[in-house]
Amino acid sequence: MTVIGEPDFIVDVHQNGYLPEGAREVSAVVTVTSSMDLAQTADAGENGAAEIIIVDCSGSMGYSGKMKAARGATAAAVDAISDGTAFAVIAGRDKARVVFPRFGGLAAANWRTRTVAKMAVARLHADGGTRIGTWLGLARELFTSHPAGRRHAVLLTDGQGSDQLDDVLSLCAGVFTCDCRGVGTDWWVGQLRKISTALLGTVDIVADPGELAADFTAMMRSSMSKRVPDVTLRVRTPASAEIRFVKQVAPAIEDLTGRRAAAGEQAGDYPTGAWGPGEGRDYHLCVRVSPGAVGQEMLVARISLVTGSPSGPQARGTGLVKAIWTADEALSAPINPQVAHYTGQAELAQAIQEGLRARKEGDEETATTRLGRAVALAAESGNEDTASLLAKVVEVVDATTGVVCLRKNVTDADEMTLDTRSTRTVRTRK
């Protein structure tokens, strides 16, 4: 394990650095931990933070107490915004409208503006349709009109928007991050996952509207804890090397491979969003290289955490991925525990999604096989939360071998919760 410490981030590289003769692929898990004093002198207002809460106010929100819960949750989120933070509230229907501040733009949070915002939120009502792309487009306009360094949105919906979402997301990516929540069970998991992935946020289901306020408060407090915006994972490789993939694997799986931005010769930057003090994330890196001779050592990749500053990008933590070719099978055969663990967690997420898809399509044989494999992987890795969610969709006969039977009566909420949280991972057992 290679460890190099810097004031802002600690980078630990976990790998088996020995490769058999002729091997070309090097895998490593990179654990990044931000220091507890990360930008400790920064204040949310001084740092130029901005928050926008986007509330679905379409007609369907008028049922099952969803609109009332959304008003309460939005008010709770407003209360959690730190003084000095610029904020706004958007009501989403067929068109998007800024309900606070009254004349558009963003307002600095203080006792008076929070009070006025909650009064405006109390008047929200349900009517009209759902065009999520339009809502995000308005949020982008508001964010780009303000010089905030950290820009974060919360999006709540209970339905599906059919407007040109891909085009809007391409414009919003890199401008702000967005946490997405679906209330009830009439929304589409795939659509909100697409938004949260593109905008480096989270996605979750709140099946019971009564739980919205607590969830919104937690999201806003988490956002307020972020101190450093726009941190990138920089990967520099030799001229002969090729990046196969770069994935975040904890706390949730996100494939960053296609989001590489060139950062000079043989280097690329992968976005990680904003960070707070004491935060930890894991990344799985796979690099293809030209095989070396037995005994040859190669620096396969230099990993850095890079932040912006007035003087330009600054590396705040570094780790090294190395490889040595050997003829000794005892050295090259073992798989690093962290690499094996997260390979299994990625397979777990895939097995769940494939199993649920097969179940919807009526392919019970495939659904049973894939969800059974998911049960075995969850048990092996100690992912107890996912195991509990799986048990609501399948009857577990033998968790170790993955023998299961599909349950006949599964609620939409249980199925959607399993789907939504399928990409959440647990770290390796100590």
Give the domain CATH number at 267. Answer: 2.60.40.3670
Residue 213 and residue 98 share a domain: yes
Closest CA to 423 of 211, 246, 203, 231: 203
- Structural domain contains residue 349: yes
- Structural domain contains residue 367: yes
Under 8 Å between Cβ of 157 and 110: no
Number of domains in the chain: 3
Measured between its terminal Cα atoms, the distance across the chain in Å is: 16
- From 282, 308, 332, the end of a domain falls on 332
Interatomic CA distance for residues 84 and 106, integer angstroms: 11
* Bridge partner list, 156: 55, 181
Residue 136 and residue 27 share a domain: no
Residue 201 and residue 94 share a domain: yes
CA distances to 257, 371, 412 from 354, rounded to whole Å, are: 22, 8, 17
Which three-class secondary structure state does DSSP give residue 271?
strand
Residue 341 and residue 394 share a domain: yes
Residue 114 and residue 93 share a domain: yes
The model's pTM: 0.93
Which three-class secondary structure state does DSSP give residue 180?
strand
Residue 117 and residue 16 share a domain: no
Interatomic CA distance for residues 135 and 55, integer angstroms: 9
More confident residue, 373 or 48: 373
Under the banding of pLDDT at 50, 70 and 90, the label for residue 312 is: low
Q: What is the pLDDT of residue 304?
A: 95
Interatomic CA distance for residues 288 and 300, integer angstroms: 9
Residue 56 and residue 37 share a domain: no
Q: What is the pLDDT of residue 415?
A: 97
Residue 184 and residue 54 share a domain: yes
Residue 357 domain boundaries: 337-420
Residue 131, token pair as written in the block:
């065009």
Residue 317 and residue 362 share a domain: no
Interatomic CA distance for residues 2 and 64, integer angstroms: 54
Under the banding of pLDDT at 50, 70 and 90, the label for residue 310 is: low
Interatomic CA distance for residues 69 and 121, integer angstroms: 11
Residue 153, token pair as written in the block:
């949105």
State yes or no: pLDDT of 1 exceeds 50. no
- The helix (H) or strand (E) run that includes residue 419 is helix 412-420
CATH number for the domain harbouring residue 345:
1.20.120.1690
Percent of the chain at pLDDT > 90 equals 88
- From 294, 313, 332, the end of a domain falls on 332
Task: Collect contacts of 406-411 with beta carbons under 8 A, ≥24 apart.
Answer: 406/359, 406/364, 406/367, 406/368, 406/371, 411/185
- The helix (H) or strand (E) run that includes residue 250 is strand 242-250
Q: What is the pLDDT of residue 40?
A: 53
Instruction: For residue 22, give the DSSP letter.
Output: T
Mean pLDDT score of the chain: 93
- Structural domain contains residue 428: no
Angle at 140 between CA 151 and CA 158, to 5 degrees: 90
Residue 302 and residue 165 share a domain: no
Interatomic CA distance for residues 303 and 233, integer angstroms: 7
- The helix (H) or strand (E) run that includes residue 330 is helix 329-332
DSSP assignment of 209-246 equals: GGGHHHHHHHHHHHHHH--EEEEEEEEE--TT-EEEEE
Strand duo 314-326 + 18-20: pairing:
parallel
Percent of the chain at pLDDT > 70 equals 95
- Structural domain contains residue 393: yes
Interatomic CA distance for residues 192 and 204, integer angstroms: 9
Which three-class secondary structure state does DSSP give residue 18?
strand
Instruction: For residue 335, give the DSSP letter.
Output: P
Closest CA to 275 of 218, 222, 331: 222
For tokens 């330009």, the residue is: 312
State yes or no: pLDDT of 50 exceeds 50. yes
Which three-class secondary structure state does DSSP give residue 19?
strand
- Structural domain contains residue 341: yes
Strand duo 242-250 + 280-288: pairing:
antiparallel
> Residues 101-123: what's their mean pLDDT?
96
> Residues 205-216: what's their mean pLDDT?
97
Interatomic CA distance for residues 323 and 331, integer angstroms: 12
> Residues 184-193: what's their mean pLDDT?
96
**pLDDT tens, 367-399?**
999 999 999 999 999 999 999 999 999 999 999
Residue 189 and residue 80 share a domain: yes
Residue 153 and residue 8 share a domain: no
Which three-class secondary structure state does DSSP give residue 93?
coil
> Residues 235-253: what's their mean pLDDT?
96
- From 225, 247, 278, the end of a domain falls on 225
- Structural domain contains residue 68: yes
Half-sphere exposure of 209 (CA within 13 A, CB side): 17
Lowest-pLDDT range, 116-120, 160-164, 384-388, 417-421?
A: 160-164
- The helix (H) or strand (E) run that includes residue 97 is strand 96-100
**pLDDT tens, 24-44?**
999 999 999 999 877 553 443
Interatomic CA distance for residues 89 and 5, integer angstroms: 41
**Radius of gyration (Cα) for the chain, nearest Å?**
23
Half-sphere exposure of 63 (CA within 13 A, CB side): 9
Residue 366, token pair as written in the block:
């495939």
- Structural domain contains residue 429: no
CATH number for the domain harbouring residue 164:
3.40.50.410
- Structural domain contains residue 427: no
Q: What is the pLDDT of residue 265?
A: 87
